[in-house]
Structure 1
């Protein structure tokens, strides 16, 4: 499953989100693409105040910080 990981430079919350994501049972099966929202004005306006945000490519569902490993497990089902 492809996951878009919207992040930004020097984002400590993004680092915490990455740790939670790595703890999921499905981590090895995920295709995670990190996207720096500062590379696009549109992305910055959509996600600037909300990063980190994960979005599933298959259904466009999003989960934003704060989330736990359990929250991610449910999100990835």
Structure 2
């Protein structure tokens, strides 16, 4: 079973929408659990991720995958 992940982004970010489109099929096909995190909810996350979003972060290791990524890269990231 794949690890739980967080997809960090914000509303109105078209790259974040593209990243969600890449990740969501894995949610349905592979039972991947993804929490969507809006970085605008915290000044700390805006400072840390404001220029990097979207970012996919593994819950188990904290490892991060920065945009751009495709389905194959996400699948390899989750191994």
Counterpart selection for 2:53 from 51, 54, 73: 51
Q: Give the Å deviation of 1:22.
A: 2.3
Matched positions, count: 75
Q: TM-score scaled to structure 2, two decimals?
A: 0.88
Looking at secondary structure, tell me which structure has more helix per residue: 2
Between the aligned partners of 1:46 and 1:23, the Cα distance in structure 2 is: 27
Between the aligned partners of 2:72 and 2:9, the Cα distance in structure 1 is: 21
Residue ranges of structure 2 left out of the alignment (5+ in a row): none
**Superposed CA RMSD:** 1.0
Q: Give the Å deviation of 1:9.
A: 1.3
Between the aligned partners of 2:46 and 2:9, the Cα distance in structure 1 is: 10
Equivalent residue runs for 1:1-77 within 5 Å: 1-24=3-26, 27-28=27-28, 29-77=31-79
Q: TM-score scaled to structure 1, two decimals?
A: 0.90
